[in-house]
């Protein structure tokens, strides 16, 4: 799984309702949307939207059987996510993750020097003071 796709899948999981949906599917193996809906205080179209997002990010697989759609976890995606997070505790995996992301992500911009940063902040602060002074002057004229 590409780094971009992996990061997207992780972002999709960061939504509380989607986490709950994934937990329910994990507990049952495979479910229809109508079996998931009663666990939430949301409408069917809202659940359908969440399922669509989960499916398009590769977290959930959908299987059609007649008019019914059965949802299950896409274990390949979860294995990729697990491997990625293992890098935080396993230096060998981290090295692989870094080399993969270095190819996909641009190099970070160099940090500003502290003296330049302070000067910029002071300049921004001075601009704000000027704006406030102009507003006060306008009020006095009225």
Quickly list DSSP for 101-128. HHHHSPPPPPPPPHHHHHHHHHHHHHHH
Q: Is 93 exposed, middle or buried (0-12, 13-18, 19+ CB in 10 A)?
A: middle
Tell me which residue of 57, 24, 64 sits closest to 40, measured CA to CA: 24
Q: Are 95 and 57 in contact (CB under 8 A)?
A: no
Q: What local confidence, expressed as pLDDT, does residue 27 receive?
A: 97
Q: What local confidence, expressed as pLDDT, does residue 93 receive?
A: 61
Q: What local confidence, expressed as pLDDT, does residue 71 receive?
A: 97
Q: What local confidence, expressed as pLDDT, does residue 128 receive?
A: 73
Q: What local confidence, expressed as pLDDT, does residue 107 receive?
A: 47
**Residues contacting 30, CB < 8 A, separation 6+:** 63, 70, 71, 72
pTM to 2 decimal places: 0.63
Q: What local confidence, expressed as pLDDT, does residue 90 receive?
A: 77
Residue range 64-95, pLDDT digits in tens: 999 999 999 999 999 999 988 888 887 776 66
Q: Are 77 and 56 in contact (CB under 8 A)?
A: no
Distances (CA, A) of 56 to 17, 60, 91, 117, 134: 16, 8, 31, 42, 52
Tell me which residue of 45, 2, 3, 42 sits closest to 20, measured CA to CA: 42
Under-70 pLDDT residues of the chain: 93-123, 135, 138-142
Q: What local confidence, expressed as pLDDT, does residue 80 receive?
A: 92
Q: What local confidence, expressed as pLDDT, does residue 19 receive?
A: 96
CA distance 140 to 23: 62
């Amino acid at each position: 799984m590409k780094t971009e796709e992996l990061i997207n899948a992780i972002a999709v999981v960061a939504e509380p309702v989607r986490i709950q949906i994934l937990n329910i599917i994990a507990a049952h193996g495979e479910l229809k949307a109508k079996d998931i809906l009663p666990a939430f205080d949301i409408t069917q179209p809202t659940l359908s939207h969440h399922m669509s997002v989960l499916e398009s990010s590769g977290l959930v697989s959908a299987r059609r059987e007649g008019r019914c759609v059965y949802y299950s976890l896409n274990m390949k995606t979860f294995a990729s996510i697990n491997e990625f997070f293992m890098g935080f505790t396993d230096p060998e995996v981290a090295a692989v993750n870094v080399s993969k992301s270095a190819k996909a992500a641009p190099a970070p911009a160099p940090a500003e020097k502290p003296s330049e940063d302070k000067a910029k902040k002071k300049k921004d602060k001075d601009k704000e003071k000027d704006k406030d002074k102009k507003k006060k002057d306008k009020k006095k004229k009225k």
